[in-house]
Each structure stands twice: as C-alpha cells, then as structure tokens.
C-alpha cells in the first residue's frame, strides 16, 4: 500500500501575516522588480461587500508574481483569504520557507489528481465565511495579455460549496495586467537587440520581422533537439514541433498519446505529470516549458494588437527560453507594475446549480473581458513595431 498523498495545510498566524505584509512588497521590488498598484476605491468596496460572508476569488496566472501581489493587496484591505498553491511548489521549498507560506494562509493542492484534502480544506474555509483564492489556469505562462484554458477545479469547488449553503455562493473573478516602466520604443529596441544577440541574429526589417527571425532561430534549436524536420512556414513548423515534441514527451513521461486533444491541454497534462515528481527540475522540464512558451507566444499575438505589454512580455518569454536552451544567464527582470481589476461577481445558486464546464466558461469569459479592459486602459500602442 502506497504512502498517503502529502498535503500542506495552512496555519494562518496573525503575527506572520503582519510581518509578511511589510516584507512582501519589498521582496517583490528587490527580487522581481515588481510594484503593485492599489485596488480602485469602488473595487475595494465590491471586494469587501462580496467577500463579507466568504467568496471564491479567481485570477489569471501569467507570472510567479501574481499570488504574492494579490496576497499583499487583499491583506491590505483586510480580506480574510486563504490561497491554494501547487503542492510541487511547497514540496521543493526548504522547511522554513514552506512554514512561512503556511502561516500566511497558503495550503497545497495536487493539480494532477482529485486532491480531496485540498478540496475539503477549501470547503472548510468557505463554510467559515473565509475567502479562498485560486488560479484556474493552473500554471504560469508568461503573458498577462492572454488567457490559457481554465481548469474545472475552481468551478467544482464553487458548486460543492454552494450545495452546503442556503444562499448563493459568490465567485469573484479578478485579472492582473503588467505595465512595464521601461515602455518607450528605445527600451523595446534594447530588449529586442539583447534577444538577437543571444541568438547571434542580425536585426533587419521592422521590429516584428526581427522578432519573427528570433522565433525562427529558437525554433530551429528546438527542432534539432526533438529530431523534427524544420521546413515550411513558421506556422507549419510550429504545428510539427507540437506534434512531434508532444509525442516524445508524452512517451518519456508515461502519458497516453492524445493527438485528438488541444495543444494547451496536452501541455497542461505534461506539466501536471512533472508536478508529481518532486526531484529537481532538469532538461525534461525545460523542454515542456519551451512548448508552453511557443504556445503562449502564438504567431500574430503581437501583430493583432501591438502594445508595449504584448511586445515586452513576448521578448521576455523568449529570452528566458534562450537562457534555458543555451544555459546562459537569465535576463534581468524589467521593472513592472501589477494592476489588478475586480470583475462583477457570479453567484452560484444552490437551487439551480450549473455544471462545472458551464461555470468554467462563465469564469473564463468574465476574466477575458477584464483582461481586454485592462489592455485598453493600460496598453501603450506601438504600431511602428510592426
């Protein structure tokens, strides 16, 4: 008989939370070059009203900075919230770092399975009129201007919690957008030149054409490693890379070959399989993350709306991939400002329960609307790039 599934429960401690509320913004500034914009007054009011009896709070999850930034903001407006985090993240931490997170109100979830302990923990907190924060994308992917398919776990917990209530359970969708401080055209050109230099590329044409040249060079490296032919259009080569590399990785990780499933879902399953292995991350993990980078930075994402955020997010994503592929030093983080927006709540009525798939689609739609709104508000146009 196997050993029980490890679970790290939260043990929220007021003193630890108070200390972390002071330290967290400083650490984010020093380590991630990240600053946090406060909630707007009307959004603070909505948060306090909706979460007064406990709410499920969801948010997109482009970067590792999202959870600590949101934790800091919610603590500042005095919302009693617990955060669900990947078990693999807590497992890889040293004991004291893990304890600090647990005492800050963080508990673990095994994303690759039905984690009954995590679900029970979330339901317990909601029954005690505390809020629970989840990131339904499941993993980071680098682009705040895109949303990966939501997993159904948040909807499942929301429906299960609503069944135990007499009044509807509020689910509050949030979205985060990152505004880069170095946002003028010269800064963009500097970052693009650094990417070209790392790939030994010579910049010619528009910024967009030069960026596609970098994608082509990085794609060639990936094709060579995966043993895949590199002929045809960029879109065709990417499709071949997904097909061949996904088949290779599914075989190496002991997963069933599933060509009928969408690429994002297959990449998600690969990442979940890696999450179950607490050993140090190596090249296998980097190969999976490379597919995630290519899938996230889809062809045309910048051209359809050339903004500062889309351009710099994509360049940063590709520079990280170059660093992982060539073993070079990772790029220095750019100074960013995290801006969160609070959407209109969804209410799960215990008398008329939706299916998990229906509720997940509603949450995705609300979040995509928030992301579009943030990009309209904060996106700095850079048409000259294309």
Classify residue 355 by its DSSP letter.
Answer: P
Which has more confidence, 290 or 297?
290
Residue 4 predicted with pLDDT over 60? no
| Res 139: pLDDT | 84
What is the per-residue pLDDT across 149-188, written as a single tens digit (0 to 9) for each? 899 999 999 999 999 999 999 999 999 999 988 666 788 8
Tokens standing for residue 221: 């490296």
185-188: long-range contacts (C-beta < 8 A, 24 or more apart)? 185/382, 185/384, 185/385, 187/312, 188/308, 188/311, 188/312, 188/315, 188/382, 188/385
| Res 386: pLDDT | 83
Tokens standing for residue 161: 């919690």
| Domain boundaries of the chain, sorted by first residue | 14-181+335-385, 185-326
> What is the arithmetic mean of pLDDT over 120-126?
97
Q: Which residue has the tokens 């590199």?
A: 230
| Res 279: pLDDT | 60
What is the per-residue pLDDT across 27-59, written as a single tens digit (0 to 9) for each? 999 999 999 999 999 999 999 999 999 999 999
Q: For residue 46, give the nearest of 74, 18, 6 by alpha carbon.
A: 74
Enter the CATH code of domain 14-181+335-385.
3.40.1130
Residues 298, 263 contacting (CB under 8 angstroms): no
Residue 107 predicted with pLDDT over 90? yes
C-alpha–C-alpha distance, residues 270 and 264, integer Å: 10
Residue 2 predicted with pLDDT over 50? no
| Res 61: pLDDT | 95
Q: Are strands 336-342 and 169-180 parallel, antiparallel or unpaired?
A: antiparallel
| Res 1: pLDDT | 40
Residue 128 predicted with pLDDT over 90? yes
Which has more confidence, 321 or 133?
133
| Res 379: pLDDT | 86
pLDDT band of 75, cuts 50, 70, 90: very high
Q: For residue 350, give the nearest of 160, 214, 135, 207 by alpha carbon.
A: 160
| Res 230: pLDDT | 79
pLDDT band of 281, cuts 50, 70, 90: low
> What is the arithmetic mean of pLDDT over 327-346?
92
Residue 375 predicted with pLDDT over 80? yes
């Amino acid at each position: 008989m196997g050993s029980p599934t490890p679970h790290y429960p939260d043990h929220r401690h007021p003193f630890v939370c108070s200390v972390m509320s002071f330290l967290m913004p400083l650490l984010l500034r020093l380590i991630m070059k990240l600053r946090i914009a406060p909630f707007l007054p009307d959004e603070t009011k909505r948060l306090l009203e909706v979460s007064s009896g406990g709410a499920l709070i969801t948010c997109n999850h482009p970067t590792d900075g999202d959870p600590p930034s949101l934790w800091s903001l919610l603590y500042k407006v005095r919302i009693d919230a617990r955060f669900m985090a990947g078990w693999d993240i807590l497992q890889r931490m040293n004991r004291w770092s893990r304890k600090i997170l647990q005492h800050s109100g963080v508990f673990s979830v095994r994303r690759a399975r039905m984690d009954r302990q995590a679900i029970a923990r979330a339901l317990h907190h909601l029954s005690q009129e505390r809020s629970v924060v989840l990131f339904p994308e499941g993993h980071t992917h680098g682009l705040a201007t895109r949303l990966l398919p939501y997993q159904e776990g948040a909807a499942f917990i929301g429906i299960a919690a609503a069944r135990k209530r007499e009044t509807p359970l509020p689910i509050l969708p949030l979205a985060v957008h990152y505004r880069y401080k170095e946002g003028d055209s010269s800064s963009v050109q500097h970052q693009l030149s650094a990417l070209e230099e790392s790939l030994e590329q010579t910049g010619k044409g528009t910024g967009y054409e030069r960026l596609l040249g970098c994608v082509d060079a990085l794609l060639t490296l990936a094709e060579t490693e995966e043993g895949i032919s590199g002929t045809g259009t960029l879109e065709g080569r990417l499709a071949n890379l997904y097909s061949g590399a996904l088949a290779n990785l599914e075989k190496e990780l002991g997963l069933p070959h599933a060509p009928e499933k969408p690429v994002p879902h297959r990449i998600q399953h690969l990442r979940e399989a890696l999450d179950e292995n607490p050993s140090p991350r190596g090249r296998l993990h980097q190969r999976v993350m490379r597919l995630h980078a290519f899938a996230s930075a889809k062809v045309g994402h910048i051209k359809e709306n050339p903004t500062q955020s889309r351009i710099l997010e994509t360049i940063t994503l590709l520079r990280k991939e170059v660093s992982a592929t060539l073993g070079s030093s990772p790029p220095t983080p750019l100074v960013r400002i995290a801006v969160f927006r609070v959407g209109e709540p969804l209410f799960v009525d215990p008398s008329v329960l939706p299916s998990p798939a229906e509720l997940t689609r509603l949450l995705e739609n609300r979040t995509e609307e928030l992301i579009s709104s943030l990009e309209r508000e904060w996106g700095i146009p850079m048409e000259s790039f294309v």
